[in-house]
Amino acid sequence: MNYSGWPDPGELVVGKIDEIADFGVFVTLSEYEEKRGLVHVSEVASGWIKNVRDHVSLDQTVVAKVLDVDESSQQIDLSLKDVNDHQRSETIQDWKAERKADNWMAIAFGEDIADEQYATVANAFLAEFGSLYAGFEEAAIHGTEALDGTDLDDDEIDAIVETARENVSVPYVTVSGYVDLTCAESAGVDVVREALDAAAGNGEVPDEVELDVTYVGAPEYRIRVQAPDYKTAESQLEASAERASSAITDRGTAEFHRERRSDDE
Q: At residue 116, what are phi and psi to the nearest 5 degrees?
A: -65, -45
Question: Which one, of 30, 48, 25, 35, lies nearest residue 5 by Cα?
Answer: 35
Q: Are strands 36-40 and 75-79 parallel, antiparallel or unpaired?
A: parallel
- Measured CA to CA, the distance from residue 199 to residue 236 in angstroms comes to 10
Confidence of residue 262 (pLDDT cuts 50, 70, 90): low
How far is the C-alpha of 142 from the C-alpha of 245, rounded, in Å? 28
Q: How far is CA 126 from CA 107, 150, 210, 243, in A?
A: 19, 10, 29, 39
pLDDT at 265: 45
- Per-chain mean pLDDT for the chain: 90
What pLDDT was estimated at residue 206? 86
- What does the alpha-carbon distance between residue 24 and residue 164 come to, in Å, rounded to a whole number? 42
At residue 264, does pLDDT exceed 60?
A: no
Strand segments (E) across the chain = 12-21, 24-29, 36-40, 61-70, 75-79, 173-182, 210-217, 220-227, 253-257
pTM for this entry: 0.63
Q: Give 187: exposed, middle or buried? Use CB within 10 Å, 0-12, 13-18, 19+.
A: exposed
Residue type, 203: G
> 62-90 pLDDT, tens per residue?
999 999 999 999 999 999 999 999 999 99
Q: pLDDT, tens digit, for every residue of 37-48?
A: 999 999 999 988
- Per-residue pLDDT at 224 exceeds 80: yes
Cβ atoms within 10 Å, residue 35: 21
Q: What is the DSSP string of 126-160?
A: HHHHSSHHHHHHHHHHHGGGGGTTS---HHHHHHH
Closest CA to 182 of 196, 170, 203: 196
